[in-house]
Chain A
Amino acid sequence: MSKRSAEQILSPRSHLPMKVSTGPVGANATVGSRVFDVVNYLFVTLVAITTIIPFIYIIGASFATEYEIATRPMFFIPQDVSVNAYKYIFSSNKILRGFGNSLLITSAGTAINLFFTVTMAYALSKTRLRGRNFFLNLVIFSMFFSGGMIPGYIIVANVLNLKNTFWSVLLPGAISAYNMMIVKNFFQGIPQELEESASIDGCTDIGVLWKIVLPLSLPVLATFGLFYAVGHWNAYFGAMIYMTGAKEKWPLQVLLRELIIMSNGTAGDMTNMDADFVQPPEQSIKMAVIVVSTVPIMCVYPFLQKYFVKGVMVGALKG
């Protein structure tokens, strides 16, 4: 049992239901077993509630008045429903612009990701390609070794001179080597005959990719598109370090950091704060901004969930 390869261990079968339960059912159940079940169900339910409760509290409080947040200890449904916080957010140019920037970075970034990932994965999926092993090893090596934060920063900021442009957050993560390998493996699994019939009809490799392979790969592209998009929406580090001189291009996450984390009074680095944020914003506004930045993720979560259990571990290790 212990001599299993990493690939077997990582096999993606968790989405399959267990056919046989690990304990006796019904009349056979002993008292101990029943106690175990009750405790287990209660405990795991409690863990799940703990996971979700901060979101519920934040959503509830974002609709509450400042007075209620300050005086009532814990509540999920406000007594006086107020949409003032949202009114403020949607009238604040700064936050709206941040939202727009996040949308722009997410859509452009995802398009770039998919273009780079698909083209490279398709080329590498062809075993006939000369030098294929060399290119594959180049990719795999980069999954284990990296130059680190500073050399990467120097390339983007000093060598390519991308500071304060959107390119500084779009290009450095254009391909996830891991995702690319999974897409490559998927392409390899497409029946060769389909592609050959097209190339006999005079299609080039690019034509085959566009007309035959991509239409067959739409679910895969949707999955990786979603994962890339979530990554872009959630990213803040790149924008924070590369866009220090272009606040009008900041995505929502960087604004959130300034609005909530740095305005808390604990941060010493108040020098690059904007005048309109020096006064710590009201609690309800902070909560409403958190809600607004989380809603897009929640909208795609059902789709994500459909795919990730299958997608997360599908053997990128396979040649």
Chain B
Amino acid sequence: MSTAKSATYETPKKLHGTGKEYWRRLGNDLVRDRWLYLLLLPGLIYFIVFKYLPMFGIVIAFENYVPFSGVLGSEWVGLKWFQYFFRFPAWTRYLSNTLILSLMNIVFFFPAPIILALLLNEMRSLRYKKLLQTLLYVPHFISIVIVVSITFVMFGSSGIVYKLTQQLLGHTVNYMGSPDTFRWMIIGQTIWKETGWGTIIFLAALTNVDTQLYEAAMVDGAGRLRRLWHITLPAIRSTIVLMLILRMGSVLDTGYDHLILMANPLNRSASQTLDVFVYQQGIQSGQFSYASAIGLMKSVISVTLVVGSNKIAHLLGEQGLY
């Protein structure tokens, strides 16, 4: 901070003074800044009510929460809901659906923005590149409901893609209501919606590449692909690792707002993930405690995964997330 300080706005120093002096100056500061505290108040109330109360509300995962009795008055049941979940035979399906979808996301979606950013970076015409970027960023701002709606209109039983496959293959593919296509539809939608937007962070990293390296490599006779592989890609390695760590933290998040739009009874065996479970049990069936317990379990695993992958990044000599 390089802001000039004046006599009226002295930053409070660490006050080692005697007790009385300390309280007097604290009182003075509070009175002086009373309007600032008033400005702080709405935001503070927001964070307490909508962020911190729900955090304490996690205790209902260990209770038999009944809305009438409230969070504090409900019966304490310990780990009942966790045991209940693991006694429920389908829990492996929920877990494997979640993991398969996440793994597919990392394998197919994660590299897409990196590749696209590298290719955009190789374009020499800045104006044309900018035009393409303008088009590529559009779907990020389209709501997920519209993305899924467009998919239904085009892939549903009266849609154009449905009819074209019928003509080409001679049989129909039930894109929107089959467990075999479900995951590919989700990954496809994600790639279509977020690849362009995802390039921004990698393009930013690419501007930091030392251009002298390219010149030196050209003198040594390295071709385009070799330069891409040996200079450009290593230069953005830190960013890739950082993004991968962040991705690890959400490996159990399958995007409930996206999935519950695509999930239906016909594709149930593939679409039931932990997120969908929390939504169906908690909000649709009102099993608040049960759903919170599964949600809590998910968060605990996620935090562990972030910490773990950050450790691995450190071992590999990367800066990591923290």
As a 0/1 sequence over residues 1 to 44 of chain A, the CB contacts with chain B under 8 angstroms (1 = contact) are: 11111101111111011111111110000101100110011011
**Chain B residues whose CB sits within 8 angstroms of the CB of A120 once the complex forms:** 39-40, 42-44, 46
Considering only residues 62-110 of chain B, those with a C-beta below 8 Å from chain A are: 65, 67, 71
As a 0/1 sequence over residues 152 to 180 of chain A, the CB contacts with chain B under 8 angstroms (1 = contact) are: 11110011100000000001101101001
Question: Across the interface, do B264 and A150 meet the contact criterion of CB distance under 8 Å?
Answer: no
A256 close to chain B: CB less than 8 A: yes
Task: With A205-B33, A266-B266, A309-B200 as known contacts, state yes or no: A48 contacts B218, CB within 8 Å.
Answer: no
Question: Across the interface, do B3 and A126 meet the contact criterion of CB distance under 8 Å?
Answer: no
Question: Across the interface, do A264 and B156 meet the contact criterion of CB distance under 8 Å?
Answer: yes
Nearest A-chain residue to B57, judged by Cβ: A151
**Chain A residues whose CB sits within 8 angstroms of the CB of B317 once the complex forms:** 2
**Chain A residues whose CB sits within 8 angstroms of the CB of B208 once the complex forms:** 8, 11, 13
Query: Which of B126, B206, B282 lies in contact with A150, CB distance below 8 A?
Result: B282
As a 0/1 sequence over residues 104 to 145 of chain B, the CB contacts with chain A under 8 angstroms (1 = contact) are: 000000000000100111111010100010111111011111
Count chain A residues whose beta carbon lies closer than 8 angstroms to a beta carbon of B: 128
Question: Across the interface, do A301 and B141 meet the contact criterion of CB distance under 8 Å?
Answer: yes
Task: With A119-B43, A294-B142 as known contacts, state yes or no: A261 contacts B124, CB within 8 Å.
Answer: no
Q: Main secondary structure on chain B at its contact with chain A? A: helix
Give the distance in Å from the alpha carbon of A6 to the alpha carbon of B123 in the complex: 27
Nearest B-chain residue to A121, judged by Cβ: B43
**Chain A residues whose CB sits within 8 angstroms of the CB of B312 once the complex forms:** none
Nearest B-chain residue to A304, judged by Cβ: B141
Question: Across the interface, do A128 and B60 meet the contact criterion of CB distance under 8 Å?
Answer: no
Considering only residues 183-213 of chain B, those with a C-beta below 8 Å from chain A are: 192, 195-196, 200-201, 203-208, 211
Query: Which of B30, B138, B201, B227 lies in contact with A51, CB distance below 8 A?
Result: B138
**Chain A residues whose CB sits within 8 angstroms of the CB of B124 once the complex forms:** 21, 23, 25, 37
**Chain A residues whose CB sits within 8 angstroms of the CB of B321 once the complex forms:** 6
**Chain A residues whose CB sits within 8 angstroms of the CB of B192 once the complex forms:** 50-51, 54
B270 close to chain A: CB less than 8 A: no
B160 close to chain A: CB less than 8 A: yes
**Chain A residues whose CB sits within 8 angstroms of the CB of B220 once the complex forms:** none
Q: Main secondary structure on chain A at its contact with chain B? A: helix
Query: Which of A70, A116, A147, A260 lies in contact with B55, CB distance below 8 A?
Result: A147
Nearest A-chain residue to B67, judged by Cβ: A158
Considering only residues 58-81 of chain A, those with a C-beta below 8 Å from chain B are: 58, 69-70, 73-74
Give the distance in Å from the alpha carbon of A20 to the alpha carbon of B51 in the complex: 47
Query: Which of B37, B267, B299 lies in contact with A148, CB distance below 8 A?
Result: B299
B239 close to chain A: CB less than 8 A: yes
Question: Across the interface, do A14 and B239 meet the contact criterion of CB distance under 8 Å?
Answer: no
Q: Which residue, B56, B132, B143, B265, has most C-beta atoms of chain A within 10 A? A: B143
Give the distance in Å from the alpha carbon of A117 to the alpha carbon of B46 in the complex: 10
**Chain A residues whose CB sits within 8 angstroms of the CB of B132 once the complex forms:** 44-45, 48
Give the distance in Å from the alpha carbon of A40 to the alpha carbon of B256 in the complex: 36
**Chain B residues whose CB sits within 8 angstroms of the CB of A20 once the complex forms:** 211, 214-215
**Chain A residues whose CB sits within 8 angstroms of the CB of B237 once the complex forms:** 1-2
Considering only residues 256-288 of chain A, those with a C-beta below 8 Å from chain B are: 256-257, 260-261, 264-268, 283, 286-287
Question: Across the interface, do A119 and B204 meet the contact criterion of CB distance under 8 Å?
Answer: no
A90 close to chain B: CB less than 8 A: no
**Chain A residues whose CB sits within 8 angstroms of the CB of B296 once the complex forms:** 148
Give the distance in Å from the alpha carbon of A180 to the alpha carbon of B52 in the complex: 17
Question: Across the interface, do A18 and B295 meet the contact criterion of CB distance under 8 Å?
Answer: no
Give the distance in Å from the alpha carbon of A151 to the alpha carbon of B56 in the complex: 8
Question: Across the interface, do B43 and A175 meet the contact criterion of CB distance under 8 Å?
Answer: yes
Nearest B-chain residue to A19, judged by Cβ: B211
B301 close to chain A: CB less than 8 A: no
A47 close to chain B: CB less than 8 A: yes
Task: With A150-B295, A158-B67, A260-B153 as known contacts, state yes or no: A145 contacts B55, CB within 8 Å.
Answer: yes
B53 close to chain A: CB less than 8 A: yes
Considering only residues 226-242 of chain B, those with a C-beta below 8 Å from chain A are: 227-228, 232, 234-235, 237-239, 242
Query: Which of A115, A122, A283 lies in contact with B158, CB distance below 8 A?
Result: A283
Nearest B-chain residue to A293, judged by Cβ: B146
Question: Across the interface, do B146 and A290 meet the contact criterion of CB distance under 8 Å?
Answer: yes
Question: Across the interface, do B164 and A74 meet the contact criterion of CB distance under 8 Å?
Answer: yes
Query: Which of B9, B52, B65 lies in contact with A192, CB distance below 8 A?
Result: B9
Considering only residues 29-55 of chain B, those with a C-beta below 8 Å from chain A are: 29-30, 33, 35-40, 42-44, 46-47, 49-55
Task: With A51-B136, A204-B35 as known contacts, state yes or no: A58 contacts B266, CB within 8 Å.
Answer: no
As a 0/1 sequence over residues 140 to 151 of chain A, the CB contacts with chain B under 8 angstroms (1 = contact) are: 001001111111
Question: Across the interface, do A44 and B120 meet the contact criterion of CB distance under 8 Å?
Answer: yes
Q: Which residue, B1, B239, B242, B261, has most C-beta atoms of chain A within 10 A? A: B261
Question: Across the interface, do A30 and B53 meet the contact criterion of CB distance under 8 Å?
Answer: no
Question: Across the interface, do A14 and B200 meet the contact criterion of CB distance under 8 Å?
Answer: yes
Nearest A-chain residue to B318, judged by Cβ: A2
**Chain B residues whose CB sits within 8 angstroms of the CB of A309 once the complex forms:** 200
Considering only residues 160-183 of chain B, those with a C-beta below 8 Å from chain A are: 160, 163-164, 167, 176-177
Give the distance in Å from the alpha carbon of A251 to the alpha carbon of B317 in the complex: 49
Selected A-B contacts with CB under 8 Å, 28 pairs: A14-B207, A24-B218, A30-B223, A48-B135, A51-B139, A57-B154, A73-B167, A119-B39, A119-B42, A122-B36, A123-B37, A126-B36, A129-B36, A142-B51, A146-B55, A147-B54, A151-B54, A171-B46, A188-B1, A188-B3, A192-B3, A192-B5, A234-B146, A260-B153, A261-B145, A264-B152, A268-B264, A301-B138
Q: For the A-B complex with A127-B1, A150-B57 known, give 11 more contacts whose Cβ atoms are closer than 8 Å.
A: A11-B204, A14-B201, A32-B223, A147-B55, A152-B54, A205-B36, A205-B39, A257-B148, A260-B152, A267-B264, A305-B134
5 pairs of A and B residues whose beta carbons are closest in the complex: A120-B43, A147-B54, A151-B57, A234-B143, A123-B40
